[in-house]
Amino acid sequence: MRQKVREHAGLIPLVGFGVALEVYLLLIQPRPRDSLSPEERQWLRNKGELVFAGDNNYPPFEYVAENGEYRGFNVDMVRALGLELGVDVRLVPMPWAASLEALWLGRVDALQGIKYTSEREKTYAFAQPYLTTSQAIFVKSDRYDITDLPDLAGHVVAVQRGDFAHDLLKRRPEVHLLLVENQSAAADQLLAGEADAFVGNRFAGLYLLQRKRAMNQVKMVGEPIAPAGYGPAVRKGDQVLLRILNIGLESVERKGIKQNIDHKWFGQVIQSRSTLPSTFLTLALVLLAITLASALIIYAWNRMLMGQVRQRTQELSISNQALRQRAEEMAGLYKVGIAATSSLNFHEALTSIYEQISQFMGISTFYIAIYDELEQKLHFEIFVDRGEHRDRFTISLDENSGLTGWIVRSREPLLIRDLELEKDRLPASFITVGQPVRSWLGVPLMLKEKLVGVMSIQSYEPNAFDDDGLRIFSTVASQVAMVIENTRLHERIREQAIRDGVTQVYNHDYLHEQLVRELERSKRYHHPVSFIMLDLDQFKEFNDHYGHLAGDEVLKMVAKLVSARVRSVDIVGRYGGDEFAIILPQASVSDAQAVAERVRDAVENTPFASPQGDLPTTLTVSQGVATFPISAQSPVALIDQADRALYAAKIAGRNQIHVASPIS
């Protein structure tokens, strides 16, 4: 081969030049630009980040995995969308009904994914859809009386609260709806025999049944229901954000990113081989023929061109190496971004961030310290030296807090290429203790101009980090700061979703979910569960006389009285109006009666002062007690029996406790 090259030395420069020219044109051709206007870009900069709400249990679209990682098709699409738009995105998983409420109240900017319907169009504005989805009816494999929507009349049907199936079936009063938090719970109700059918998303239903290994127990009947677009949504009237999302989605589609995400979550069809290689080969052969003809004419120039080609090839090699390095950095940054937002567990997310950073940046030591402004301390939540995780520790911010303390005080990043050479220019207190590192890079963790901590990497080798590393590390810092905020926001939103706004005890929906869970546990371990329904006697007259504000204060006091007289494992909630309920796991009838008596006595002997300063008012409560499995065999029946017993206590003269009769 080399001999042949020498024989045709005159052809080498021209062929090389032609190939190099092709490579150069491929490398320098401009990437398609998005069409964001200057005003839209400024809007994104002012916004700082986009907050998306999503279902916490809607696989394969969006769900929190067993390890705490937020995963799914929608999750990957929104993260890709954020990278394309150049904006930070924060993903907040929550129950589906809570996510709808969060967008309606303006607590989040958008929903990750929702089915497009004319009814929802009155409230939301829909972006370009990801795909088309439909609903389906799932029934037990041995059932043949349900084949379509009209057949659901008179049957108990499990649906997710707030889902399209909920909107569809609530217009059919002949269908008895069993509302649950997510589609997984709806499938569980069908499998447990509590529901005759489950109506939900076709993809999600099949995915869940496969994961539960129940495909042989359940079948899908009827035609696909209401096929429609599925994708992100914003509040009605938020046209600026809607335009921005559509631009980003078009870019994700155009670049093939969405196709890759589709293949990841829904599989791919084997494609026929592309004609591009043969076309490229044909063009290359034509170019080669032209080059050969030209070589015969300009043979005399070949020596000069050979040197130019060598020089240009070397330049292209350097340029290609830089491009590859940049691509590797961007891929690493993308992985770090996913790691930073994939888990609601703070320390798991920090560990994932370290693992991703260590793969594309040469580091020896890594740590993240959280800043306590009130105590003026730094809490080192993760500290890794040469792959070994150290125990968490805390230091005070003083003159000996070193380089980390300097970043806290200055709120500025710090890059030291070689501590050995630059230590004379730094105060003595800045020099690290222990085996000295040579390279040091640290950045502040800022969230909306507020310092939340410091992140640093070090190396025992000099010149391990440069300005590009500082730029990348600063970008990672914004993701880490969001991890802290996400954890706090998740806890706040979760509490708001399950608490009653007036009394701060649990709300009706949470009570029902916990009752279902406790009864399932009772069936597994064969222990009783008691349920107390209590109602304030003649509370309407109190409200009419003193007003609803005074009534709310009484409800708050009663909630505190009840909560103080139950066990830590018991669950107290407001069932509705002036009704409260108590779930007592592993409590017999006599145990429940004892609790009810303590509550009755406490309320009767507590003076409730009126807002006018009148003499204190005395109130009483009537209570109904039912116990599983003695009084009922299902959650609905248990609530009904307790309610009937409560009514009997009212009829018998109030301020009493009645126990539901055993099942005959």
Question: In this structure, what DSSP letter does residue 499 have?
Answer: B
Q: pLDDT digit string (tens) for 405-447?
A: 889 999 999 999 988 887 776 655 554 545 678 899 999 999 8
60: cis peptide before it, omega within 30°?
yes
Least confident of 1-5, 74-78, 207-211: 1-5
Q: What is the residue whose two structure tokens read 């009237």?
A: 237
List 607's β-bridge partners, or say none: 618
pLDDT of 358 reads: 80
Residue 224 lies in a domain: yes
Q: pLDDT digit string (tens) for 283-326?
A: 777 788 787 877 777 776 777 777 777 777 776 676 666 555 55
pLDDT of 282 reads: 66
Structural domain of 433: 362-464
Same domain? For 514 and 649 the reply is: yes
Q: What is the residue whose two structure tokens read 């249990």?
A: 57
Residue 240 lies in a domain: no
User: Binning pLDDT at 50, 70 and 90, where does residue 470 land?
Assistant: confident
Least confident of 218-222, 265-269, 581-585: 265-269
Given a cut of 80, whether residue 339 has pLDDT beyond it is no
Given a cut of 60, whether residue 29 has pLDDT beyond it is no
Same domain? For 515 and 638 the reply is: yes
pLDDT of 299 reads: 72
Given a cut of 80, whether residue 208 has pLDDT beyond it is yes
pLDDT of 398 reads: 79
Same domain? For 426 and 562 the reply is: no
Find the CATH number of the domain harbouring 614.
3.30.70.270
Residue 192 lies in a domain: yes
Residue 404 lies in a domain: yes
pLDDT of 16 reads: 45
Phi first, then psi: give them for residue 361, nearest 5 degrees: -130, 130
% residues pLDDT > 90 (the chain) = 54
Given a cut of 50, whether residue 451 has pLDDT beyond it is yes
Same domain? For 515 and 450 the reply is: no
Chain-centroid distance of CA 124 in Å reads 20
pLDDT of 477 reads: 84
% residues pLDDT > 70 (the chain) = 84
User: Binning pLDDT at 50, 70 and 90, where does residue 448 land?
Assistant: confident
For residue 12, give every residue at least 6 positions away whose Cβ sits within 8 Å of its Cβ, in sequence order, or none: 5, 302, 306, 309
For residue 429, give every residue at least 6 positions away whose Cβ sits within 8 Å of its Cβ, in sequence order, or none: 399, 400, 401, 402
What is 207-227 written as a DSSP string?
HHHHHTT-TTTEEEEEEEEEE
Question: Which stretches of 499-569 are DSSP H helices?
Answer: 508-525, 539-546, 548-563
Distance CA 252, CA 246 (A): 10
pLDDT of 269 reads: 43
Q: What is the residue whose two structure tokens read 């003695």?
A: 630
Same domain? For 596 and 542 the reply is: yes
- What is the average pLDDT across 465-485? 83
Q: pLDDT digit string (tens) for 501-550?
A: 899 999 999 999 999 999 999 999 999 999 999 999 989 888 888 888 88
Mean residue pLDDT across the chain: 84
- What is the average pLDDT across 364-377? 90
Find the CATH number of the domain harbouring 208.
3.40.190.10
Distance CA 457, CA 366 (A): 5
3-class DSSP string for 406-422: HHHHHCCCEEECCHHHH
pLDDT of 273 reads: 37
Distance CA 273, CA 419 (A): 55
Given a cut of 50, whether residue 12 has pLDDT beyond it is no
User: Binning pLDDT at 50, 70 and 90, where does residue 6 land?
Assistant: very low
Distance CA 156, CA 139 (A): 11
What is 325-348 written as a DSSP string?
HHHHHHHHHHHHHHHHHSBSSHHH
Task: Report which of 203, 202, 338 is spatially closest to residue 267, judged by C-alpha positions.
Answer: 203
Same domain? For 451 and 377 the reply is: yes
Same domain? For 564 and 435 the reply is: no
Given a cut of 50, whether residue 90 has pLDDT beyond it is yes
Same domain? For 525 and 423 the reply is: no
pLDDT of 479 reads: 80
Number of domains in the chain: 3
Same domain? For 398 and 517 the reply is: no
Residue 405 lies in a domain: yes
Instruction: Output b/e per residue, 530-562; b: 16+ Cβ within 10 A.
Output: bbbbbbbbebeebbeebeeebbebbbebbbbbb
Given a cut of 70, whether residue 119 has pLDDT beyond it is yes
Phi first, then psi: give them for residue 618, nearest 5 degrees: -105, 135
Helix (H, G, I), strand (E, B) or coil at 238: coil
Residue 531 lies in a domain: yes
Find the CATH number of the domain harbouring 388.
3.30.450.40
Residue 457 lies in a domain: yes
Distance CA 251, CA 393 (A): 45
Residue 650 lies in a domain: yes
Same domain? For 366 and 456 the reply is: yes
Same domain? For 460 and 513 the reply is: no
Same domain? For 512 and 459 the reply is: no
Chain-centroid distance of CA 262 in Å reads 19
pLDDT of 613 reads: 60
32: cis peptide before it, omega within 30°?
no
User: Binning pLDDT at 50, 70 and 90, where does residue 337 land?
Assistant: low
Task: Report which of 606, 612, 595, 506 is spatially closest to residue 554, judged by C-alpha positions.
Answer: 606
Least confident of 66-75, 317-326, 387-396: 317-326
Given a cut of 50, whether residue 32 has pLDDT beyond it is no
